[in-house]
Structure 1
Amino acid sequence: MMDGMANHRAPSTPLVGRDRELGLLLALAGVTAPDARDVVLLGGDAGIGKTRLLRELGAAASDAGHRVMAGHCLDLGDSALPYQPFAEAFAGLSDDDRDELAARFPAVGPLLPWPTPAPGPGVERAELFASVVAALDSLADAGPVLLVIEDAHWADASTRHLIRYVLAQRFRGAVHVVVSYRADDLHRRHPLREALAEWVRLPRVRRVELEPLADADVVDLVRARATAELPPDAMSAVVRRSGGNAFFVEELLDAGLADHRSALPETLADLLLVRLERLDDATRRLVRAASVTDGREGFGALAAAAGLTDDQLDVALGSAVDHKVLRRAGDDYAFRNALLGEALRDDLLPGERRRIHVAFLEALTDEAPPATIARHALAAGRRETAFTATVRAAEAAGRVAGYDEAAQHYERALELIDAAPPGTDEIDLVIDAADALVTSGQLLRALGLLRDHLAALATDVHRDCHGRLLVAIGNTSYFANLDADAEEASVRAIEVVPEGATTLRGEVAALRARVLSNRRHDREAAEWGEQALQIGEQLRVDAIVFDAKATLTRIMARTGDAPGQSVTAFRELIDASRASGHVLGELRGLNQLAFVLLNAGQLDAADEAFTEGMRRAAETGWSWGPYGFDGRFFGALIAYLRGRWDDAVALCHVDGGAPAQFESYLAAISLLVAAGRGETSQVERTLPHRAMWRLDEASAIHSTSALIELSAAAGDLAGARQHYDDLVELHRRAWDSPEFPATIRLVALLVGRYADAVQVLDRSARQSLVDQLPGLADDVDRVVVATPSLGPEARAWQLRVRAEMARLRWLAGLEAGAGTDAAAAGELVEAWRGVRAAFVELGDPYESARSAARLAAVLATSGGDAEASALVAEARQAAERLGARPLLAQLDLLVPRPARSDVDLTPREREVLQQVALGRSNGEIGSRLFISTKTVSVHVSNILAKLGAAGRTEAAAIARRRGLIDEG
């Protein structure tokens, strides 16, 4: 009630110093450029003139025939009602318009005030968001629409999600959107800061920042506002102290600066409050009461809180407007500047504040928003009322998928549990709070909440209380990838919850099946899954049925030979879950379907399933909830595997509302791209994220893959090996499983980096690398035995391991004839042909190109120059598209150089070449031939040039073919 932009009333004073910005807004908002379809983010410091500029825009748009809708985000802390500015914007419509929208788009009901028909029991976020867009488009059928959302720096998480959704739309009709925010409020961790960074990357979004007024404009503003000409020293004082802030200019003038002898208040709060001294008692009581409102109490409640009759309220409102404390906003009133309302609220004494909140509370009806009732009740010390209203506010937020706000309300209710009415089930409340936290992505916080309450539970409390908390802890641990914790909770739950056909026992069985399946104990997992399914079907509890079916289908997919059957089963589960409104079941089905396709090597189909999961998670408010985040994470991973590296990086940049752990997980995929592009400086960026790896196996694996590459590229082979060992140890500690399929890829990467570096090392260092091969081969063999059904990707990496180990031995040259034996070269060629074919079939362009480069290097040493040249060209094309600089550098060394037909080696060069062919280093050759290492280096360079060879191995192969060395 106390907020709102004047939609049709022209501002009473001229706009000064903002002609350029107004012209830009008029064009972008379609007033002067009707074909424009831009959306605008308008930022600037508090008091800089954003609201004044928007009032001018609104008046001009209204005059041009646009329908102007405006809503404000409110500074209400934890009591914010999700989507408040949109509700306010729709409230400005006529009753007929609102009723028509409610009939055509029922899901928008929660945003439409009485007497529009009340919404049903709840609405999915996807349906609500889509209905808001459809409603705006529908209104645009009658003419252009301008939607203004003010003060987005106060927006709750759900409102930010809806703003982002609206900004991303391509409206059918002429719908224009402007969102304003305070730039000076956006500290480093402010949730809007990173949200803005994401919004500006959307198509058609324009960001406009208001700068302070120029000194000349301040002078013009003073002359327009002052009732008399100011003396030069007073004018200078205003210009100097206002800092180009229009609001400060007006406040300085209204504080009495027309008399240049008046002292200026030292603080802004003092400056803002000076005008109150000129108000009569009734008006002062009115504005002080108004400072604690959230705009939803109504005039009757405001009069009661101020202690005024209706007639006195009318007089006081007029006086507040005359003294420029309030302003008319359509049929309502608002503070002339939000800063003034804040200063008034902060100036209230504790007793006065309490009395005002009590008066508001007693004047509110049951139809008032529960968050409003809860806020006033808590401030008034009415804890019982505050508890009940807070729970209702949490439930209301959950019904519109405002899970962040629901979690805040539930946690506030738990703080008030001592004031709960008799019969309140505290365990239910704890689990509801944890569920809201989990859905909003705050898994560790949810786990801490559950554990604290379990620890505080008396031992003589009914076993069901312990059992329900243990099930919730087990589920949350499972979702957080804390396998050991999930195992412990599931075992304890079995001991606590008695057998029988009860919902709780069904939940225990479903949890136990999931945990065992995750640990690959498939036979036992299937037994528990069947038990859960039987109980769920008997009791007709869909959640248990979908949970059990998902686990059983996962087991079938992993152990069966018919992937098509698994895909069909998951699709049936997804459709059934969606039809029943069971979001968790639907997202889990999509997630596991994607993994079936991924493991089968069907990357495109898997990508579609992950993308569908990400979209459905965003639509239902589960973007950071269980399985919702996986769609984004693995979608980014597949984009990396398919060579869409820029897309992968884009998916890894998310709204600042993402929990820190998820930002850490996405950083792993960004690091893979950094490794492929040779950005070794990115290693240090992983340091803050490493503590999170114990919570997510995939991010730990992909980060380690990248670190092996980056460390080796920086010349730190020991560091690369240490990263491998650290992950194996982490896997053993966190997941109680030293054998994991990704070992195959990690070993291949590590050995490949050894092979890249081996030729520049001395003999002992080369021997040290080769000595590691048996142990690494054993690691791979254990994984193969433990995972009998390897997918196409794992099989490709298995071939890569064998080829890289053979390449390392070949290049190390530690055995007689190593690096030059024709039979060994032929075996290497065949090995790398197989590796390249496997990655080509998999559809991985980067690893296909790297395999082609390896194959070309071997061919160049065995007479296959033409084929090597074609492979180099193929690999170069992929590397250039990806920006894979390290691979390009390797390819530059493989460009075939024609060998001279008249090779004329000196006797000393022949001696050196003989030693090179035996795989000896420069130092070793110098010792044998009694010459310096530097001299050996010069001879080697001359030999390579004369033979037209790219490296020592190629030189030895050419020399052998031409009979330039002694085979004896």
Structure 2
Amino acid sequence: MSDHGFMSADWRPAEPLVGREPELERLLAATGVTDPEARGGVLLSGDAGIGKTRLLRELAARAADAGHRVLAGHCLDLGDSAIPFQPFAQVLAALDDTTRKAMSDAMPPLGPLMWGAADGAGIDRGELFSSVVAALELLAASQPVLLVVEDAHWADASTRHLIRYVLSHRYEGDVRIVVSYRSDDLHRRHPLRADVAEWIRLPGVQRLDLGPLADSEVRELVRSRAAGVVDARGLAAIVRRAEGNAFIVEELLDVDDKSGALPPTLADLLLVRLDRLDDAGRQVVRALACAGGEVGDELLSVVVDLPPRTLEEGVRAALDHRILSRTRSDGYGFRHALFAEVVRDDLLPGERRRIHAAYVRALSGLGDSADVARHAFEAGLDEVAFTASLRAAERATRVAGHNEAADHYERALSVVSAAPEGTDVVGLVIAASEAKTTAGYVRRAWVLVEDFLEQADDLSGEERARLLVAYGTAALMADRVHEPRKALDELFELVPEQPTPLRAAVEELAARVASNERHFDEAIRWATQAMTLGQRLGLNRLVADAAATKARARARIGDDPEGDERRFLEVAKIAATEGDVVAELRARHHLAFYYHERGMLDRAEAEFLRTMKTAVQAGRQWAPYGFDGRFFASVAAYALGHWDLVLELCDVAMLQPPKVPAADLEAVALLVSAGRGDTSALRTAERLRALWHKDIVLAIQSATAAIDLAHDADEATRWHDDLVLTLTDKWDGEFVPARLRMGGLLVGRLADEATHASTVTRSEWVERADQLRADADRVIEERGPFGPEGLAWSLRLDAEILRLRWSVGGEVPLAELLAAWRETTEAFGALGQVYEEARSASRLAAVLQAAGDVAGAKEVASAAHEQAVGLGAAPLARELEALAGAPVRPAASHASASQVAGEKPLTAREREVLDHLVEGRTNGEIASLLFISTKTVSVHVSNILAKLGAATRTEAAAIARRQRA
């Protein structure tokens, strides 16, 4: 037994505490650990599983480390067989034998509790209570005492009386008491409810209610338990379902499908609470479980077939047992959504259908169409479900609820056999596909139309043509290679060359397909025809799309650079004037790529961010062009060294995008992890590998990050070769431009390890490098000419091959090696690619050092070191520090007010937000200026306040001004 009393090894937390720092600080102060003058006790309350025990373990560990004797006792759920004074008996029995004997000799009433006879028979209660207090005083004479009584909601009456006594006593020594209980167990008639109301009025006793973890804290908890294992979709499901309850988080981590059925242990635990209700209470709860949200008295009275008085009693019982709670709109809802899940899943099929049919009858003509549709589906009323789903889809589209609209359209299609005669089913399929595309589910949109084309065998020529246009468009958006051309070939047979809207749509699609296949002259011809016909027919949207495609094709030819930029801006301006946001987004997306391909990365980043912001405002943030704005802005930001912005743009936990866009963003964030040396991110790369077949850029970005993250050259080679295989088999892209970058990174890994490799391995690696150069030449031949970035990576590949040959003792003139790395460094520097410039500079410095130019090496390494430190690229910074010959101080520009004050440093984005705070801007104004959401600004402001130790925005601004003065 330790000197700290009941402090066994299992009390020591194995995992870090997440999200409870304010509550812990308050407990540490109240129990005298950080405030020796504190006296009294704390009543710690919270729902089951909310984290009370975890917080108390942290408190106990901190208190023990600070020299306190920690005594802990637990009340047990023994029903009518409860043992009087159980937690106090546990505390006293845990003392060492010598202490117990001395205490029982001095205070005989404690004997039965100390030595196992805990019923207290024959003991005067007053003497027992005073003896317990005396024992605490005696223990406190040698060291401060912290008494913890857990789960007081299970305490018997005798224990509750003793708790009141020890809480009310004024101790001479350092004795502090914490009593915990489940607040969700305290129904109206629970005996502890009155006791708590009395205890809180005792002098020195304070109450601390432990609320749910914030969503950000739940995400942090998941990462601390399963870093890289849970994907963004699973993480979002856990955050949604757990509602801040740590126990539920832990349970959901143990199931494969985070959105699927609950673990049986958790479901059974929740259903036990339902068993405490009478029949009326259970009927109310079952009806509410099928509601899908809160329900008011009027609707509940129609759905639940009970007399008014009985219904009220049932509602009251569910409220008292804290299964239901009142809502702000005077209705009722579940205190925790998982109760609804468990109760609904426990219903018999016929019972569930009857309840949903009752909701349909109650809501028809009055309720929201989405609610009517959902209940009609569950009740098996297909005709009602179809009509209501269409109304719900149209309403969702009007308010930019594209994700919801897609779901409603798809549900309507599932019961299309019940559709009224004359329904335009083809139009419904196209609308569903467009809604899915706009919601960010591009691949699903394409598959939806493909499935209908394959299954429908009674389509007219015009109907099939309409579907093929939608199919070809969706296939292009999904980056399919052959399908758009196949659709177009059939369309030319089905749609005659006549002045019809359908023919105009075919010609506009032909322009896109030709441009995608790099047949730019053909694309210009088709786009011109489509524009002419579209203008004749008044098809403004189609004309704008064709104009954007024509401008893109002209830009790819590259014979009129000044005119190209002007044309994109003209299309965007006309589209914005006419309110055609899709055409505007497409034109700006093309303009951003125009800048990107010419190495104008800062302008590309700004234009991509503008595109993203416009899409967000239009509710199209996950649609093509809108999402591309976010994705490629993050790619440009990574190249430019704006890594904090990358992590902000790619914060999938905060954004909760669809599955594939989420994976795309995680892949870009992996590049930052690689640069900063976070090898644990390899687990995320492994998880993303399963999605490579869904998006080519996802495959390229995640695999190139993994080449850098790999533990050794062999593992890096496997990542490279797996990516080539995927590009070849899944995307018909064996010779994509990314092969230059992939090859340069891989040869760099081989060169890093060449000096330690065997002679045979060195020879194999040199041969492999030569093959990679040959592959790169093939890429240039088939896909060139490339812009400045392609040239820089081609130079990098050549320089890495020379470095590899030099590392294995090959005859490589130092002058040639120096020239190669100097040219490579300058090429990335001209592009503004900070990290790659610094990486190339590290190679250059190493060669300079080998050539005997120590001063030159130090000068190059020192400048690059400053860049690496600014990025937080620790591995590269360490490498450059060694080359510089002495430690180099980080750049002064990266010291903030918080660093001067000795606090955690502000990130680059937080410094930007702070600058705007100093200028007195609101969160909304800051969001607009920085192209981020108001919610994201709010998170940054909270972090700034915490890091600066400021209570308000005004105080934070004042601190910043003082530091700058």
Same-fold call, TM > 0.5?
A: yes
Q: CA deviation at 1:895?
A: 4.6
For 2:789, the equivalent position in structure 1 comes to 793
Q: Distance in 2 between matches of 1:405 and 1:213?
A: 49
Residue 854 (1) aligns with residue 853 (2):
no
Residue 248 (1) aligns with residue 185 (2):
yes
For 2:389, the equivalent position in structure 1 comes to 390
Contact 2:288–2:294 (8 Å) recurs in 1: no
- More off after superposition, 466-475 vs 607-616: 466-475
Cα distance per residue 1:1-30 (max 9 Å; x no partner): xxxxxxxxxxxxxxxxxxx99x99xxxxxx
For 1:877, the equivalent position in structure 2 comes to 866
Secondary structure at 2:400's aligned position in 1? coil
Q: Distance in 1 between matches of 2:478 and 2:157?
A: 58
Q: CA deviation at 1:303?
A: 5.6
Cα distance per residue 1:512-534 (max 9 Å; x no partner): 32222122121222222223222
Q: Go from structure 1 to structure 2 and tell me whether the alpha carbon gap of 1:462 and 1:303 turns closer, same or farther (over 3 Å shift).
A: same
- More off after superposition, 353-362 vs 559-568: 353-362
Secondary structure at 1:250's aligned position in 2? coil
For 1:429, the equivalent position in structure 2 comes to 428
Contact 2:393–2:406 (8 Å) recurs in 1: yes
- Counterpart amino acid of residue 390 in structure 2: V
Q: Distance in 1 between matches of 2:331 and 2:882?
A: 75
Within-5 A mapping of 1:802-841: 802-814=798-810, 818-819=811-812, 824-841=813-830
Q: CA deviation at 1:462?
A: 0.4
Secondary structure at 2:570's aligned position in 1? helix
Q: Go from structure 1 to structure 2 and tell me whether the alpha carbon gap of 1:693 and 1:496 turns closer, same or farther (over 3 Å shift).
A: farther
Q: Give identity over the alignment, percent.
A: 40
Contact 1:484–1:735 (8 Å) recurs in 2: no
- Counterpart amino acid of residue 749 in structure 2: R
Residue 663 (1) aligns with residue 659 (2):
no
Q: Distance in 1 between matches of 2:289 and 2:768?
A: 72
For 1:654, the equivalent position in structure 2 comes to 652
Contact 1:467–1:493 (8 Å) recurs in 2: yes
Q: Go from structure 1 to structure 2 and tell me whether the alpha carbon gap of 1:221 and 1:667 turns closer, same or farther (over 3 Å shift).
A: farther
Cα distance per residue 1:829-860 (max 9 Å; x no partner): 33332222222211122222222222223333
Secondary structure at 1:366's aligned position in 2? coil
For 1:527, the equivalent position in structure 2 comes to 525
Q: CA deviation at 1:538?
A: 2.2
- More off after superposition, 315-324 vs 647-656: 315-324
Q: CA deviation at 1:607?
A: 0.8
For 1:965, the equivalent position in structure 2 comes to none
TM-score (norm 2): 0.60
For 2:437, the equivalent position in structure 1 comes to 438
Q: CA deviation at 1:298?
A: 7.6
For 1:183, the equivalent position in structure 2 comes to none
Q: CA deviation at 1:782?
A: 3.0
For 1:161, the equivalent position in structure 2 comes to none
Secondary structure at 2:734's aligned position in 1? coil
Q: Go from structure 1 to structure 2 and tell me whether the alpha carbon gap of 1:568 and 1:320 turns closer, same or farther (over 3 Å shift).
A: same
Q: Distance in 2 between matches of 1:813 and 1:687?
A: 35
- Counterpart amino acid of residue 748 in structure 2: G
Cα distance per residue 1:198-234 (max 9 Å; x no partner): xxxxxxxxxxxxxx9964477799999xxxxxxxxxx
Q: Distance in 1 between matches of 2:596 and 2:614?
A: 19
Q: Go from structure 1 to structure 2 and tell me whether the alpha carbon gap of 1:252 and 1:841 turns closer, same or farther (over 3 Å shift).
A: same
Secondary structure at 1:740's aligned position in 2? coil
Q: CA deviation at 1:291?
A: 6.8
For 1:559, the equivalent position in structure 2 comes to 557
- Counterpart amino acid of residue 529 in structure 2: Q
Q: Distance in 2 between matches of 1:331 and 1:600?
A: 56
Q: Distance in 2 between matches of 1:47 and 1:891?
A: 49
Residue 687 (1) aligns with residue 686 (2):
yes
- Counterpart amino acid of residue 250 in structure 1: H
Within-5 A mapping of 1:549-628: 549-628=547-626
For 1:156, the equivalent position in structure 2 comes to none
For 1:453, the equivalent position in structure 2 comes to 452
Q: Go from structure 1 to structure 2 and tell me whether the alpha carbon gap of 1:423 and 1:766 turns closer, same or farther (over 3 Å shift).
A: same
Secondary structure at 1:803's aligned position in 2? helix
Q: CA deviation at 1:391?
A: 0.9
- More off after superposition, 421-430 vs 580-589: 580-589
Q: Distance in 1 between matches of 2:336 and 2:397?
A: 29
Q: Distance in 2 between matches of 1:833 and 1:331?
A: 69
Q: Distance in 2 between matches of 1:287 and 1:698?
A: 48
- Counterpart amino acid of residue 674 in structure 1: S
For 1:758, the equivalent position in structure 2 comes to 754
Quick one: which of 493, 496, 499 aligns to 2:494? 496
Q: More relative contact order in 1 or in 2 (CA 8 Å, sep 6+)?
A: 1
Q: Go from structure 1 to structure 2 and tell me whether the alpha carbon gap of 1:251 and 1:440 turns closer, same or farther (over 3 Å shift).
A: farther
For 1:706, the equivalent position in structure 2 comes to 705
Quick one: which of 836, 853, 856 aligns to 1:867? 856
Q: Distance in 2 between matches of 1:581 and 1:503?
A: 21
Q: Go from structure 1 to structure 2 and tell me whether the alpha carbon gap of 1:299 and 1:536 turns closer, same or farther (over 3 Å shift).
A: farther
Contact 1:377–1:385 (8 Å) recurs in 2: yes
Secondary structure at 1:621's aligned position in 2? coil
Contact 1:434–1:446 (8 Å) recurs in 2: yes
Q: Distance in 2 between matches of 1:290 and 1:724?
A: 54
Secondary structure at 2:332's aligned position in 1? strand
Contact 1:213–1:245 (8 Å) recurs in 2: no
Q: Distance in 1 between matches of 2:345 and 2:712?
A: 60
Q: Distance in 2 between matches of 1:687 and 1:344?
A: 37
Contact 2:280–2:313 (8 Å) recurs in 1: no
Q: Distance in 2 between matches of 1:287 and 1:719?
A: 55
Q: CA deviation at 1:273?
A: 6.4
Q: Distance in 2 between matches of 1:836 and 1:47?
A: 55
Contact 1:708–1:750 (8 Å) recurs in 2: yes
Q: Go from structure 1 to structure 2 and tell me whether the alpha carbon gap of 1:337 and 1:889 turns closer, same or farther (over 3 Å shift).
A: closer
Contact 1:614–1:630 (8 Å) recurs in 2: yes
Q: CA deviation at 1:588?
A: 2.0
- Counterpart amino acid of residue 842 in structure 2: A
Q: Distance in 2 between matches of 1:481 and 1:288?
A: 47
Q: Gaps (5+ residues) in structure 1?
A: 1-19, 25-42, 51-211, 225-241, 255-265, 898-968
For 1:894, the equivalent position in structure 2 comes to 883
For 1:464, the equivalent position in structure 2 comes to 462
For 1:370, the equivalent position in structure 2 comes to 369
For 2:780, the equivalent position in structure 1 comes to 784
Q: Go from structure 1 to structure 2 and tell me whether the alpha carbon gap of 1:826 and 1:363 turns closer, same or farther (over 3 Å shift).
A: closer
Q: CA deviation at 1:452?
A: 1.8
For 1:516, the equivalent position in structure 2 comes to 514
Q: Distance in 1 between matches of 2:542 and 2:317?
A: 64
Contact 1:222–1:249 (8 Å) recurs in 2: no
Contact 1:47–1:337 (8 Å) recurs in 2: no
Within-5 A mapping of 1:70-149: none
Contact 2:859–2:884 (8 Å) recurs in 1: no
TM-score (norm 1): 0.60
Cα distance per residue 1:339-387 (max 9 Å; x no partner): 8988987887766765665565455463532123324444554422221
For 2:640, the equivalent position in structure 1 comes to 642
Q: Go from structure 1 to structure 2 and tell me whether the alpha carbon gap of 1:49 and 1:602 turns closer, same or farther (over 3 Å shift).
A: closer
Q: Go from structure 1 to structure 2 and tell me whether the alpha carbon gap of 1:223 and 1:345 turns closer, same or farther (over 3 Å shift).
A: farther
Q: Distance in 2 between matches of 1:567 and 1:222?
A: 83
- Counterpart amino acid of residue 185 in structure 2: F
Q: CA deviation at 1:252?
A: 7.3
Q: Go from structure 1 to structure 2 and tell me whether the alpha carbon gap of 1:489 and 1:694 turns closer, same or farther (over 3 Å shift).
A: farther
Q: Distance in 1 between matches of 2:682 and 2:295?
A: 54
Cα distance per residue 1:782-829 (max 9 Å; x no partner): 333334542121222233233333334444434xxx35xxxx333333
Q: Distance in 2 between matches of 1:346 and 1:749?
A: 52
Q: Go from structure 1 to structure 2 and tell me whether the alpha carbon gap of 1:678 and 1:733 turns closer, same or farther (over 3 Å shift).
A: same
Residue 537 (1) aligns with residue 535 (2):
yes
Contact 2:589–2:628 (8 Å) recurs in 1: yes
- Counterpart amino acid of residue 646 in structure 1: D
Q: Distance in 1 between matches of 2:707 and 2:273?
A: 60
Contact 1:614–1:628 (8 Å) recurs in 2: yes
